[in-house]
Amino acid sequence: MTADELSAAAKAMRRDWDSPGLWPAIERRIREDERARRRYSWTSLAAAAVVILSVAASLVLLGNRLLHERAAPVTGASRLLSDEGLSDVERAEAQYIAAIEALAAKVARTDDSTRPTSLLLANLRERLVVIDAAIADCRAEIERNRFNTHLRRQLLSIYQEKRRTLEQILDEEQHAS
């Protein structure tokens, strides 16, 4: 069979029929998909918002509580932590450590040994070493004295200093680059 014969045979096989429901059906399906997508997207957003708000609220409440505790003087009665107090403090410590680790990873990524270091950066890095030594001191004491309120507060305060110092290092490195 030649190409012309094949073309003629194909034309002869062609059939037309009415299908009035085809395009409305396609349109309906597209609209349904859009509605489902919107519904899905709004549901996801709402769920995410609820979760974020819950986490933010718990962090704010915990932060306020710890700040309040840190601001208040350590009196005789609060000299040693209760179990609940200890779990609060350890939770705060965990959050600080997570934040510090994230910052430290960023600092490590931006640390370029081939680039000359500014005097401020050198100072801040030296401070970091001093802070780490102080953290080690505090932690060694805490190993033997876990419920001592002063030790726990002091460690939190040093973690706070470390976080600030890491942020300063990041700022300075970004400024330098």
Partner 1 sequence: MKNSMRPSARAVRRGISVLVLAAFAAAPCVAAPREQRQESTRSFDRTVSVMPAQALRVEHRHGDVRITTHARSDLRVQAVIRVSADSERDAAQFLERVQIEMLDTPTAVTVRTIYPEHEWSRRNISYAVDYTLLMPEKMPLDVHNSFGSVAVSGAKAGISVVNAHGTLTVADITGRSRLENSFAATEASRMNGDVTITGSNGDVSATTIAGALEVTCRFGRVAVGAVRGAALVGNSNGQVEVADAASATITNSFGAVTVRDVGTANISNSNGAVRVTGVRGPATVKTSFAPVTMATIAGAVDVTNSNGDVTLKDVSAAADIRSSFGRIEVQGVKTGVRVTTGNSSVRVIDVQGPVTVKTSFGLIAVERVRGAFTADNSNGGVEAADVRGAAQVNTSFGPVTLRDVEGAVNVRNQNGAVEVTPLAQAGRCHNITVETSFSPIRVHLPQAGYNVAARTSFGRIRTDVPITVTGSTGEGTLSGTIGAGGCSLQLTNANGDIQIAGGAAQ
User: Which residues contact partner 1 by CB under 8 A?
Assistant: 33, 37, 40-41, 44, 47-48, 51-52, 54-55, 58-59, 62, 74, 76, 79-83, 87-88, 91, 119-120, 123-124, 127, 130-131, 134, 137-138, 141, 143-151, 154, 157-158, 161
Provide, rounded to whole angstroms, the least separation between the CB of residue 23 and partner 1.
Answer: 21
Nearer to partner 1, 110 or 148 (CB): 148
- Looking up tokens 């000359």 gives 116
User: In this structure, what DSSP letter does residue 20 have?
Assistant: T
In the complex, least distance from residue 35 CB atom to partner 1, rounded to whole angstroms: 12
CA distances to 33, 44, 57, 138 from 47, rounded to whole Å, are 21, 5, 15, 41
Q: Which is nearer to partner 1, 8 or 50 (CB)?
A: 50
* 131/111 Cα distance (integer angstroms): 19
